[in-house]
């Protein structure tokens, strides 16, 4: 019984944020029970109790950033004199990331110049000194519009572009009698504003930017591409979905083919480190999942031992929990390889960036009907283009080509993945 310390929820992390307590102070907890959600720069992960007993005190409440190793709660002991955590403030107020409220840019046509106290308001006799934006005045002049009849809706009754546009649309006859502006004049009078708003970077977005920059600057990428005939795979998938309780996607079959290729070419299932090469015995594959906060890559382990229906159900579970922030710490770590699929968006081919420390990633495009040659005859086939990005420190070109050939064989002969 004792203190619950903030774990190192991500490799190299020095702080994490208590996102949400899932049990109340005074509740009994059991070993393995998820008691709190912790936010890292990658995702929100769940933390399970390592001891059973009464949660006698919550030291760090929701939204508090805590140093790794500092206490966040106490299970079973008297908590009367326990000090507060070493960094008791929400992440947005921490010393490392003090982001002021994002200023919202005002459209150019609505930016208010310094007002001359003597400047007359709308409806006064002198139209030259009306409170009118320059763009609105130019548009009114081109349209032959009397600004004295326009009601301003801008700050302090100022006439802005939308007021002039509204007046012109309501009085087409008057505009015509004054002479319609030419097409070129109308185009010139439009306010093509470059307005924008600013949005502070989230912790996850910063982490993604840092890791991708690290990947492209430290990992020597090289790329190999293959066109795969997936006609048999699509036919098999259709038959499997007629009997499977879980819908199997093309991506699920790609995951299975990747695992089979690593069993065929185990020399490619490696990860480079500064001191040694890590050789994986199983196919632990990261699956790219798009979320509102950015791209997450939870790892599906032992894929070579799984059935297609198990892969389909597991991937769906990982994706759902990734989008809802329910992934566990260990599900975001490890793996030697990743898969990213943009085929559902109609993208036929692209190159992906390796997710360090993994040694490769397969970019999967959309399957489409394309001309192919079979037995010397030109015909139409279903072709899917895949591109392998590999770390040249860990995998040589010939080895990568051997692995891609094994993958192509598996994907073009899908029955071999069922035996």
Query: For 254-301, what is each residue's pLDDT tens digit?
Result: 999 999 999 999 999 999 999 999 999 999 999 999 888 778 899 999
273 and 397 in a single domain? The answer is: yes
User: Tokens 């995998």 correspond to what residue?
Assistant: 395
| Structure-block tokens of residue 232 | 């048999």
Concerning whether 392 is annotated as a catalytic residue, the answer is yes
Q: Which residue did the predictor score with more confidence, 222 or 46?
A: 222
In angstroms, the Cα distances linking 124 to 104, 130, 193, 194 are 33, 7, 29, 32
79 plus 151 within the same structural domain:
no
Q: How many domains does the chain have?
A: 3
CATH of the domain at 142: 4.10.320.10
Per-residue pLDDT reduced to its tens digit, 33-49: 989 988 776 667 888 88
Does 112 lie in the same domain as 85?
no
pLDDT confidence bin for 111, thresholds 50/70/90: very low
Q: Is residue 295 part of a domain?
A: yes
Mean pLDDT throughout 219-240? 96
Position 248 in a domain: yes
Whether the predicted pLDDT of 373 surpasses 60:
yes
Domain edge (last residue) among 189, 212, 234: 189
Domain limit, last residue, from 133, 168, 189: 189
Two tokens, residue 373 = 């040659």
Residue 100 placed within a domain:
no
Domain assignment present for residue 139? The answer is yes
Check which CATH number belongs to the domain holding 376 and give it. 3.30.559.10
H-run or E-run covering 21: strand 15-21
DSSP strands (E only) in 302-355:
327-328, 337-341
Residue ending a domain, choose from 93, 117, 141:
93
- Please tell me the pTM assigned to this model: 0.62
373: which residues sit within 8 A by CB, 6+ positions away? 379
Q: Report the greatest alpha carbon distance in the chain.
A: 90
Same domain, 287 and 335: yes
Distance of CA 196 to the CA centre of its chain: 21
Residues 358, 266 share a domain:
yes
The verdict on residue 277 lying in a domain is yes
Kindly name the residue from 15, 201, 221, 392 that is annotated as catalytic: 392
pLDDT of residue 8: 75
Residue 54 lies in a domain: yes
**CA 370 – CA 380 distance, rounded (Å):** 6
Pick from 59, 109, 406: nearest CA to 263: 406
Range of the domain at 49: 2-93
Angle, alpha carbons 236-374-252 (nearest 5°): 25
**Both tokens of residue 2?**
């004792």
Same domain, 150 and 23: no
113 pLDDT exceeds 80? no
Q: What is the pLDDT, as a whole number, of residue 97?
A: 39
Q: Is residue 204 part of a domain?
A: no
From residue 30, alpha-carbon distances to 22, 36, 38, 47 in Å are 13, 13, 19, 13
Do residues 308 and 401 both lie within one domain? yes
Residues 319 and 403 reside in one and the same domain: yes
Claim to verify: residue 51 and residue 140 sit in the same structural domain: no
The band of 186, judged by pLDDT with boundaries at 50, 70 and 90, is low
Lowest mean pLDDT among 3-12, 85-94, 103-112, 223-232: 103-112
> Looking at the predicted structure, is the pLDDT value of residue 120 above 60?
no
CATH number, domain containing residue 57 = 2.40.50.100
pLDDT-based confidence at 207, cuts 50/70/90?
A: confident
Pair (253, 382) in one structural domain: yes
- Out of 10-19, 62-71, 297-306, give the one with best mean pLDDT: 297-306
- 36 with 78, same domain? yes
Q: Say whether both 243 and 121 belong to one domain.
A: no
- Does 57 fall in a domain? yes
């Amino acid at each position: 019984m004792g203190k619950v310390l903030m774990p190192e929820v991500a490799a190299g992390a020095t702080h994490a944020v208590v996102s949400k307590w899932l049990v109340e102070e005074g509740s009994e907890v059991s070993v393995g029970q998820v008691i709190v959600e912790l936010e890292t720069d990658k995702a929100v992960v769940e933390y399970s109790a390592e001891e059973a007993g009464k949660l006698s005190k919550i030291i760090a409440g929701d939204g508090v950033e805590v140093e790794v190793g500092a206490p966040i709660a106490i299970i079973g002991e008297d908590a009367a004199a326990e000090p507060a955590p070493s960094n008791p403030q929400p992440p947005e107020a921490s010393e490392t990331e003090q982001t002021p409220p994002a200023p919202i840019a005002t459209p150019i046509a609505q930016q208010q110049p310094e007002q001359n106290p003597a400047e007359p308001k709308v409806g006064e006799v002198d139209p030259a000194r009306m409170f009118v934006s320059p763009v609105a005045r130019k548009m009114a002049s081109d349209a032959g519009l009397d600004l004295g009849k326009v009601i301003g809706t801008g700050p302090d009754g100022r006439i802005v572009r939308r007021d002039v546009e509204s007046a012109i649309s309501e009085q087409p006859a008057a505009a015509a009698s004054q002479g319609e502006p030419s097409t070129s004049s109308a185009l010139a009078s439009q306010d093509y504003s470059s307005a924008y708003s600013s949005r502070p970077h989230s912790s996850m977005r910063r982490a993604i930017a840092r890791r991708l920059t690290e990947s492209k600057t430290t990992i020597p990428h090289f790329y190999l591409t293959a066109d795969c005939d997936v006609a048999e795979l699509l036919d098999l998938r259709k038959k499997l979905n007629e009997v499977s309780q879980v819908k199997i996607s093309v991506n699920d079959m790609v995951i299975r083919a990747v695992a089979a290729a690593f069993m065929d070419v185990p020399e490619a299932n490696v990860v480079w480190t500064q001191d040694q090469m890590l050789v994986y015995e199983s196919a632990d594959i990261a699956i790219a999942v798009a979320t509102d906060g950015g791209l997450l890559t939870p790892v599906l382990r032992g894929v070579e031992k799984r059935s297609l229906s198990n892969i389909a159900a597991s991937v769906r579970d990982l994706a759902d929990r990734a989008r809802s922030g329910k992934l566990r710490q260990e599900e975001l770590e490890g793996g030697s390889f990743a898969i990213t699929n943009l085929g559902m968006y109609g993208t036929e081919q692209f190159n992906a960036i390796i997710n360090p420390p993994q040694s490769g990633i397969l970019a999967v495009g959309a399957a489409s009907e394309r001309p192919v040659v079979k037995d010397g005859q030109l015909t139409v086939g279903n072709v899917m283009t895949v591109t392998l990005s590999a770390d040249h420190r860990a995998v040589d070109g010939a080895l990568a080509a051997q692995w891609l050939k094994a993958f192509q064989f598996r994907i073009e002969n899908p029955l071999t993945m069922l035996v």
